[in-house]
Amino acid sequence: MIRRLADRPTADRDVEEQAEFYGEDGGEELVVRFLLAVDDAYNFIRENPRSGAPHQVRNPRLQGLRSWAVSGFEDVRVYYLQPEETLVRVVRVLHGKRDVEAILRHEHR
């Protein structure tokens, strides 16, 4: 089954901010590797939405939340929902050193 992947503006900003950090720390090559890895993670999630680890969060709007690590950047995880059979919604893309629980607690669906 073909699934569409929809990401939220907050997820886009998460990716941009993380790429900026990598650019300052490791240069353009690292940024490109990161962005390609995020794209690969998105494609995998779209094709295998139930493969991600279930992620329990206190936010009732995020029931069924799952996460998937970005390959090569395992501290960065894609948090997503599959609210419909043909749609996978990326909620956030967060580095594990951030207060993930607090961020997700305040996230709107």
pLDDT of residue 85: 79
pLDDT of residue 83: 74
> Rounded to whole angstroms, what are the CA distances from 37 to 46, 63, 73, 106, 108?
14, 26, 8, 27, 26
Distance CA(74)–CA(70), nearest Å, equals: 5
Total structural domains within the chain: 1
Confidence of residue 90 (pLDDT cuts 50, 70, 90): very high
Q: What φ, ψ does residue 98 adopt, rounded to 5°?
A: -85, 165
Residue 97 has pLDDT above 80, yes or no: yes
Query: Between vectors from CA 48 to CA 6 and to CA 84, what angle results, nearest 5°?
Result: 45
Q: State the pTM of this model.
A: 0.91
According to DSSP, residue 101 is labeled H
CA atoms within 13 Å, Cβ hemisphere of 22: 19
Q: Which domain holds residue 76?
A: 4-105
The confidence score (pLDDT) of residue 84 equals 78
Segment 30-67, tens digit of pLDDT: 999 999 999 999 999 999 999 999 988 888 889 899 99
* 62-86 pLDDT, tens digit each: 989 999 999 999 999 999 998 777 8
- Give every CB contact of residue 5 below 8 A, 6+ residues apart in sequence: 42, 45, 46, 87, 88, 89, 90
Task: Identify the pLDDT of residue 1.
Answer: 65
pLDDT in tens, 3-15: 787 878 899 999 9
Q: Which CATH number goes with the domain that contains 40?
A: 3.30.2310.20
- Give me the residue label for tokens 């395992």: 74
Q: In this predicted structure, what is the pLDDT of residue 4?
A: 83
